[in-house]
Amino acid sequence: MSINIGQFLDTNVWQYGEYKHLIYLGHERECSLTNKQILERARALATGLKTRGIKKGDIVASVLSNIPEIHEIANAITRIGAVYMPIIFMLTPPEIRYILEDSKCKIVFTEDKLLDKVREAASGLNTIEKIICIGKTASTDVVPYDDLQKVSDERGNILEVSKDDLALIMYAPGTTGHPRGVMLTHFNMYSQIRSGVSVWGTDKGEALVTTIPMNHIYGLLACFEGYVAGIVNILMPPFDPRKVLDVVRKFRVKVLPVVPTMLNFMLMVWDPGKDDLSSLDFLMSSGSYLSLETLHKVQNTFVIEITQSYGCTEVGGTISLQRKDWPRKPGSTGFPIPGFAVKIINDEGQEVTRGQEGEIICKGPMVMKGYMNKPRETAEVLKNGWFYTGDIGRFDEDGELYVTGRKKDIIIKGGENIDPAIAEGWLSKHPAILENSVFAIDDEKYGEEIAASIVLKPGCNLTEEEILHYLGQHMHHFVLPKKIFFMESLPRTSIGRVLKKEIRRIVNEFS
């Protein structure tokens, strides 16, 4: 059997027959496509890329918002053995330029509303051969998207690939320095997709809502796994909580992947007299830490169980996932998915016993090939076949994984290691606080001191003194934040992970 992940779409058409697979609900347009139509368009696009000189191993980028063309673009690139590199469209031109230059990609797909940004980012880069634009454009320096879909022939067929051939490169934001290009092979993704679907499969025709950005591994998995499961994929632009709730009710949606931030916003607009989530079989929260307070509030309000998972870009998505045939324990991220070996180790590299905390490391066919052009950084996280996640966690008595913190987020105050998650947990319980993040600031006395950034709920007022007094009732004075910074929102990645580096930059700039 071919391990080219492009074949999942071909198999979907063969296995399930033609059906409405993609429903796009955009702000400016709405449309729907059958699985066969997506395949035909992807095959024609693949032929068009071949005529433009794209061959196996060439890197093709996209800078796109959540639009329906992403499905055919991702398939067209991978089916001919080229490497798909989705770039977060919210990045600035200099940030995009770094990725284009570091990867030496040849072609960039974009859309009319993002064209100026991409032009600026690609200006003067000799490696960029073409910019292909979706939508209206009268420019002579770009290729209209439709021009690549005029012919479909055998050049657009699935190309055989080897286990080590790259399928995806995804530049994941880091806590320090430039983003790192995660290199994922066809075998990495083939193993991830097959394993993930085996844990929580769906039936043909069931609806899934994708409002997660498609330039993130979480969003792409919804696309690829959807082909295997035979679902109907309802694709939406960046998250609108009111519209998502309406769509779930209207289409009787079965699967809804979210990040914790999305749950908070859904709670804010929830209308018990109107909203109905009873159709959901799989409301999955992943991407960042979900507090127990939010978990219980969501489950009590929505009258539905949340399924939690844990993963990262470096493994193509999922490491552990709660199962439908096992009780979903609050705070657990479930069992490792099939094919993964997961261990918890201490600072000396020794495996700890169940119940003890340590760094989460994993091993399996899903683990990335490495970081592009970064051998030192690759060697730091890939050791003897094991991927060192940098996350802190523990196993319970049943072997379920709990993610409790981030190793690199540890604050070292006066030689003492302080986990910011402890203060973050207490802050999340305060009724006036919507979001918070605890981080380190420079301190002459201790080296590092503790600070917190706070986002208040609409209509709430709270002073720094009141917050510090509240925390002082629950925590030892040495581990208390000594400074509170009020913010309108927390800077996040496209998937919702808080960027503590960016918070520190903002704090330093305005302090």
Per-residue confidence at 175, pLDDT binned at 50, 70, 90? Answer: very low
**Residue 428 resides in a domain:** yes
pLDDT digit string, tens, across residues 392-405: 999 999 999 999 88
Q: Indicate which CATH number applies to the domain containing 481.
A: 3.30.300.30
Q: Indicate which CATH number applies to the domain containing 146.
A: 3.40.50.980
Report the range of poorest mean pLDDT among 40-44, 237-241, 456-460.
237-241
CA distance 99 to 334: 34
User: In what helix (H) or strand (E) does residue 130 lie, and over which residues does it extend?
Assistant: strand 130-134
Per-residue confidence at 176, pLDDT binned at 50, 70, 90? Answer: very low
**Residue 145 resides in a domain:** yes
**Residue 374 resides in a domain:** no
pTM: 0.86
Average pLDDT, the chain: 91
Domain boundary among 160, 185, 210: 185
CA distance 401 to 416: 26
Q: 109 lies in which domain range? A: 37-185
Per-residue confidence at 475, pLDDT binned at 50, 70, 90? Answer: confident
CA distance 256 to 272: 19
Phi–psi pair at 175, nearest 5 degrees? -80, -20
Per-residue confidence at 203, pLDDT binned at 50, 70, 90? Answer: confident
Domain boundary among 185, 213, 243: 185
Judge whether residue 485 has pLDDT over 80.
yes
| Structure-block tokens of residue 54 | 């794209």
**Residue 113 resides in a domain:** yes
Judge whether residue 264 has pLDDT over 70.
yes
DSSP single-letter state for residue 203: -
202 Cβ contact partners less than 8 Å away, ≥ 6 residues apart: 208, 229, 230, 231, 254, 255, 281, 282
> In the predicted model, what is the mean pLDDT of residues 347-370?
95
Which range among 202-211, 289-298, 369-378 has the greatest average pLDDT? 369-378
**Residue 55 resides in a domain:** yes
pLDDT of residue 14: 96
Count how many residues are written for the chain.
Answer: 511
Q: Total domain count for the chain?
A: 2
**Residue 397 resides in a domain:** no
pLDDT of residue 42: 97
**Residue 504 resides in a domain:** yes
> In the predicted model, what is the mean pLDDT of residues 209-221?
91
Three-state SS annotation for 60-110: EEEECCCCCHHHHHHHHHHHCCCEEEEECCCCCHHHHHHHHHHHCCCEEEE
| Structure-block tokens of residue 460 | 């709430």
Tell the residue number behind the tokens 């919210």, with chain if given.
90
Domain boundary among 169, 185, 201: 185
